[in-house]
Amino acid sequence: MATLHSPAVRGGRLRALLYVLPALIVVVGIVYLGIGYNAYVSTLEWSGIGDDRRPVGIDNYIGVFTDPVFWTSLSHVAIFAVVTIAAQMAIGLTMAILLSGRIFLGGVYKVVMFLPVVLSPAAIAVAFRDILSPGGGLNEALRAIGLDGLTRAWIAEPETALMAIAVINIWAWTGFSFILYQAALAQVDTDLIEAAQLDGAGKLRTLWSVVVPQLSGTHATLVLIGVIGALKTFDIVYLTTGGGPGRSTEFLTTYIYKTAIDGFQAGYAAALSMVLLLLSLLLTLIQMRANRFGRS
Amino acid sequence: MFGRLRTRDRVVLQVLATLIAIPFAYPIIVIVATSFEGQGAIENYTAVLTRTPFLRFLANSAIIAGGTIVITFVCTMLAAYAFSKLRFPGRQMLFVVVLGGLVLPAIALIVPIFTIMLGLGLMNTHIAVILPLAAITIPFTVLLAKNFLDGVPDEILEAAKIDGANTLGTLFWIVLPLARPIIAVVLVWTFLQSWNEFFLPLLLLQSSDMQAVTQVPLYFTSEYGSDTPKIFASLVLISLPVTIAYLSLQKLFERGLTAGAVK
Amino acid sequence: MKFDRKRRRLAISIGALAITGLMLSACSAPAEDDGGPVTLDVWGWNPDEKSAPSYFDAFEAENPDITINYRFIQASDFVNTVRLAATTKDGPDVFGLQVGVFPEQFAPLTVDVAPYLEDALGAEWNEQLTGADQYDVDGKQVAAPWYTSAAGFMWVNQGVADELGLAVPTTLDELIAFNAAANAAGKQGLVQGAKDGFANLDLFQIVANQVEPGVFYDALDGDEPFDGDAMTASLEIWQQLFTDGAVQEGALGFTAYPDANDARITGEAAMIPFGSWQFRDATNTRTAEYAETYGDPAIADTVFMPVDFPAVTEDATVGSLFGGPDVGWSVSAQSDAKDAAGRLVAWLTTSDTAVELLGEALRPPALKGSTIDLSDVKTPEQAAAIESLVERSEDLVGPREVADPDVKSTLIEVLSSVAAGSTTPADGAAQVQAAIDAAS
């Protein structure tokens, strides 16, 4: 759609490949070589140290699909993805729209929303472990407004730990949705808005029926990034709950890490990461396909 | 976009925005406030600067981030331009190949990365960290930049072609100036990814002199107990460069948008 | 013609590259055993940056031909960092190694240190080093034990107990009552860093050894059922610790270090189930350091007292200790200076100087017959308690560390889920049993 249809640009088609080459070399040379290595290791029974490697074919993969921890982790990732993507998009879009109303101190609000994105996971984890602790800020706030009954050890209880991590992630990443929406809103066709308002549509309806659909490209990008981001989430989980209590916040990534590092099962961990990879690829392709349908 | 707002509407917007912003501001306030506790702000921040190799690690991180930004920026703009505006065989497939790099977390790649860098003889050089960081950042920045360039009307490029610009010239003189907002995003993004990275420098740089700034907070956790206010002070200090980078590029970002070239 | 020239140029370049490579590798391989100066890269999680120089400066003074370059790595990142680096020449020459799962896993990365120990101590060297066998992998001495530690008791912040006007609890009921009273006064009683697997393994071993001393270790060896009465009962009590308030609220979100440790040092909490690696807390030096670190001069006067863990059942056997070597030193198989590295390892573990330095740090050296220096201990009561614990450590009920990685991670997950109430004690016991069966 956005392509130049005339026989591309001077220099011929193959020269265009040169533009892609640097990125390809770096990505293929590291990520794909890494994936290839993982694919090989995933067929071994190997501690990850020394020469005692035993080829086991697809046994590790069979192990993955019959491993209850794998399925538990996957369900956590799914819940986490849905909750965080929905919340980040909703809050990010809302805030972008609110701030487009040129409110007082809008610049400060903008910075506040985006600052979490630039903070290191280490800083975020340390702060939230404090805020979500039994005597931390969240419980204090609840007590202050009389909701003593709701206070709890948010990251220490299996019932709330996953949601607590989702909240941390929403805090950390909403600024990203916000900033993309803000950029996109600036490109929204104002004629359509004016036309809708001339038709007598209310502001909220204009928003919903005229503005939001125009942002479909941004929605799609955020969902795509959100899904992949959820599958890749590691630092925040590792640094706050470490996957616990029990397995209640185990993610595929933390499980891979534990299996490889604490469990000395490099082969099995590699098989888990190959499954994670295939899963992400599958979801990415589905979304790209769906996206194209949506556009045409 | 709302046209002219009545005062009442503006108050509603203001209140709503404030309600959303407070929970986002609070943790930042906690981090900064905690860094002032204990022996006090001056003592805490001085300790970070004097009792850790802060400046050396800062320089190391600057090298790592600088290298990653250069590689990522060049690769990203070239590739995104080609994927968005040029036609060539296998375009769609190669785009998927690059995007495929998006999906694996670095933590699953640590061992192969280690082996590759060892094989290239780059062990214990900052390049050993820069290359993998670029590799895991590029897929994402290419996606963003391509998405953005898709929104740049082809007509502008056609016009450039008629004026006799070649492909590279079009990228340089037409596309890049239009793409300033996304360039800002690419720069900030790559900077924060490389600046905040914890595991890669730790595992790939063997010498303690070469470590990155993310190691600084650990200096305040030891068998002598941990000094929470100083840990927070180091977290504030190491977050400053990225924050400043974001704040200063934010203006460019805004200017680029409001300049209206893209609309 | 043209191609030929290209090819020749290519051949020359490759040749040049190869020669450069050879020269480089020749340069980077330091000549060994010619008596010239050697620099050793030493990596450890213990000692930390502050205390490391005392050992390595002393070594350098006695061995002027060897320079030590020590890299401290946090315990949480240590295994990850070393397992990669020790496969290369760029990595450490000497590295620290814990007992438990690590000797067997790291064995391929190390050289046998027995010859160096034999040089230092004679043929009977392994009888003179406590727990040397825990580093013996199929006849290869993977590391030399440096100092030992024992767990099975708890530390009381006497200041907090006195302030609350409460006696140190000796039974589970008293412990729960103590915690409730502490909470009412805005403090914590017993704090457990239950986010950390190792802390849970320690506390669970205290419980299991009270229920029936030693059965835990027999069960891990497959000689007793883990899903039998003793371990199931232990897991039930384990769960009660968390549900009945024997540990603090939200314990599963606390790390042992720094969360729980900070709390009991600063006086926010009264008790913590740590072991002999904290002996130094009883000294004036350490409490003064704490006072500085935490910015509270009052900590300098705090008495940290090691006390037996309260009896968790009516007929509990209180006071069994478990443990072994805490840190051992390995020589990397990739080292270019193995002999110098071996000398360092032997020096750290057997020399009078090193043993004396360990004694001053109140770390019981693995070398038998050595003592720890109690002259800086604050009170005679603390000194007596430590002396008695050292004596009791000569008869340990088990090794503290679990040897099989799979069993260990299963056990850690089970302890956490049972504590959280998401797994029943019986199911948990069955899971551990399954892991033990799979491992054997």
Give the closest of A51, A134, A263 to C405, CB-based: A263
Closest CA to C152 of C270, C304, C306: C306
Residue A187's pLDDT band (boundaries 50, 70, 90)?
Answer: confident
Give the closest of A13, A26, A197 to B87, CB-based: A13
CB contact under 8 A, A133 and C421: no
Q: What integer pLDDT is reported at residue C192 of this predicted model?
A: 97
Q: Kindly list the residues from chain B whose CB atom is less than 8 angstroms away from the CB atom of residue A11.
A: 166-167
Give phi and psi for C153, each to the nearest 5.
Answer: -135, -170
Q: What integer pLDDT is reported at residue C429 of this predicted model?
A: 97
CB contact under 8 A, C261 and B225: yes
Q: What integer pLDDT is reported at residue C35 of this predicted model?
A: 59
* Closest residue on chain C to A131 (Cα): C253
Judge whether C263 and C194 are in contact, CB under 8 Å. no
**Domains in chain A: how many in total?**
1
Q: Is the pLDDT of residue A12 over 70?
A: no
Closest CA to C158 of C50, C297, C284, C269: C269
Global ipTM: 0.86
User: How far apart are alpha carbons C219 and C227 in whole angstroms?
Assistant: 9
Q: What integer pLDDT is reported at residue B4 of this predicted model?
A: 64
pTM score of the predicted model: 0.88
| Residue showing tokens 């600036």 | A186
**Closest chain C C-alpha to A36 CA, distance in angstroms:** 19
Judge whether C425 and C224 are in contact, CB under 8 Å. no
Alpha helices in A28-105, H assignment, sequence order: 33-41, 59-65, 68-99
Cα three-residue angle B6-B10-B11, rounded to 5 degrees: 120
Q: What integer pLDDT is reported at residue C22 of this predicted model?
A: 40
Q: Is residue A21 part of a domain?
A: no
Per-residue pLDDT tens digits for A64-89: 999 999 999 999 999 999 999 999 99
Closest CA to A1 of B92, C206, C203: B92
Per-residue pLDDT tens digits for C83-100: 889 988 889 999 999 999
Residues of chain A by 3-state class (helix, strand, coil), percent to 5: 75, 0, 25
Dihedral sign (CA C388, C391, C396, C397)? negative
- Which residues constitute the domain of residue A226? 68-295
- Does the CB of C252 have a partner CB in chain A at under 8 Å? yes
CB contact under 8 A, C46 and B227: no
Of A227-236, C23-32, C312-321, give the lowest mean pLDDT range. C23-32
CB contact under 8 A, B202 and C49: no
Of A91-95, C12-16, C59-63, C310-314, give the lowest mean pLDDT range. C12-16
Judge whether C108 and C337 are in contact, CB under 8 Å. no
Q: Is residue A36 part of a domain?
A: no
Give phi and psi for A212, each to the nearest 5.
Answer: -55, -45
Give the closest of B2, B243, B246 to A203, CB-based: B2
* Closest residue on chain B to A231 (Cα): B103
Q: Is the pLDDT of residue A99 over 70?
A: yes
User: How far apart are alpha carbons C437 and C211 in whole angstroms?
Assistant: 23
Q: Kindly list the residues from chain C whose CB atom is less than 8 angstroms away from the CB atom of residue B208.
A: 71-72
Give the closest of B38, B208, B221 to C74, CB-based: B221
Closest CA to A181 of A212, A204, A151, A158: A212
- DSSP one-letter code for C375: T
CB contact under 8 A, B123 and C90: yes
Overall average pLDDT of the C208-225 stretch: 96
For residue C42, give the 3-state DSSP assignment. strand
Q: Is the pLDDT of residue B252 over 60?
A: yes
**Above pLDDT 90, what percent of chain A?**
48
- Does the CB of C285 have a partner CB in chain B at under 8 Å? no
How large is the C-alpha radius of gyration of chain A? 23
Q: How many CB pairs under 8 A join A and C?
A: 85
Give the closest of B134, B195, B253 to A26, CB-based: B134
**Closest chain C C-alpha to A241 CA, distance in angstroms:** 7
CB contact under 8 A, A197 and B3: yes
CB contact under 8 A, B27 and A186: no
**Closest chain B C-alpha to C227 CA, distance in angstroms:** 35
Closest CA to C208 of C233, C190, C225: C233
Q: Is the pLDDT of residue B6 over 90?
A: no
Q: Six-digit token pair at B146?
A: 């391509």
Q: Is residue A264 part of a domain?
A: yes
Q: Is residue A266 part of a domain?
A: yes
Judge whether C265 and C299 are in contact, CB under 8 Å. yes
Overall average pLDDT of the A54-69 stretch: 95
Q: Is residue A281 part of a domain?
A: yes
First to last CA, chain A: 9
User: Higher model confidence: residue C335 or residue B207?
Assistant: C335
Q: How many CB pairs under 8 A join A and B?
A: 310
Give the closest of B114, B208, B228 to C84, CB-based: B114
Closest CA to C420 of A140, A70, A160, A150: A160
Task: For chain C, positions 389-428, list CB contacts with chain A under 8 A.
Answer: 405-406, 408-409, 413, 416-423
CB contact under 8 A, A247 and C413: yes
Of C139-143, C292-296, C425-429, give the lowest mean pLDDT range. C292-296
Q: Kindly list the residues from chain A whose CB atom is less than 8 angstroms away from the CB atom of residue B161.
A: 4, 9-10
Cis upstream peptide for C53 (omega within 30°): no
CB contact under 8 A, B203 and C84: yes
Per-residue pLDDT tens digits for B111-151: 888 888 888 888 889 999 999 999 999 998 888 888 778 87
Cα three-residue angle A222-A224-A230, rounded to 5 degrees: 95
User: How far apart are alpha carbons A158 and C259 in whole angstroms?
Assistant: 20
Closest CA to A277 of B134, B199, B111, B100: B100
CATH number at residue A224: 1.10.3720.10
User: How far apart are alpha carbons A121 and A132 in whole angstroms?
Assistant: 16
CB contact under 8 A, C84 and B110: yes
Measured CA to CA in angstroms, residue B125 lies from A144, B122, B203, C77 at distances of: 53, 6, 12, 20
CB contact under 8 A, B104 and A232: yes
Q: Is residue A26 part of a domain?
A: no
Which residues lie closer than 8 Å to C396 by C-beta, 6 or more apart?
C150, C321, C322, C323, C324
CB contact under 8 A, C105 and A248: no
- Does the CB of C289 have a partner CB in chain B at under 8 Å? yes
Per-residue pLDDT tens digits for C286-328: 999 999 888 889 999 999 999 999 999 999 999 999 999 999 9
Which residues lie closer than 8 Å to C72 by C-beta, 6 or more apart?
B208, C44, C45, C47, C48, C49, C52
Q: Six-digit token pair at C106?
A: 């790291």
Q: Is the pLDDT of residue B262 over 60?
A: no
CB contact under 8 A, B218 and C74: yes
CB contact under 8 A, A31 and B26: no
Closest CA to B98 of A273, C426, A32: A32
Closest CA to C125 of C142, C107, C137, C113: C113
Q: Kindly list the residues from chain B whose CB atom is less than 8 angstroms away from the CB atom of residue A121.
A: 196, 198
Q: Is residue A133 part of a domain?
A: yes
Q: Is residue A20 part of a domain?
A: no
Chain-centre distance for alpha carbon B59: 17
**Which chains are adjacent to chain C, needing at least 3 Cβ pairs under 8 Å?**
A, B
Neighbours of A67 (CB within 10 A): 17
**Closest chain C C-alpha to B132 CA, distance in angstroms:** 16
Name the E strands within B130-240: 221-222, 225-226
Measured CA to CA in angstroms, residue B63 lies from A44, A245, B127 at distances of: 38, 39, 9
Measured CA to CA in angstroms, residue A172 lies from A162, A176, C212, C338 at distances of: 15, 8, 48, 48
Q: What integer pLDDT is reported at residue C13 of this predicted model?
A: 47
Of A11-15, A135-139, C253-257, C303-307, give the lowest mean pLDDT range. A11-15
Q: Six-digit token pair at B37?
A: 């506790």
Of B68-72, B99-103, B126-130, C201-205, give the lowest mean pLDDT range. B99-103
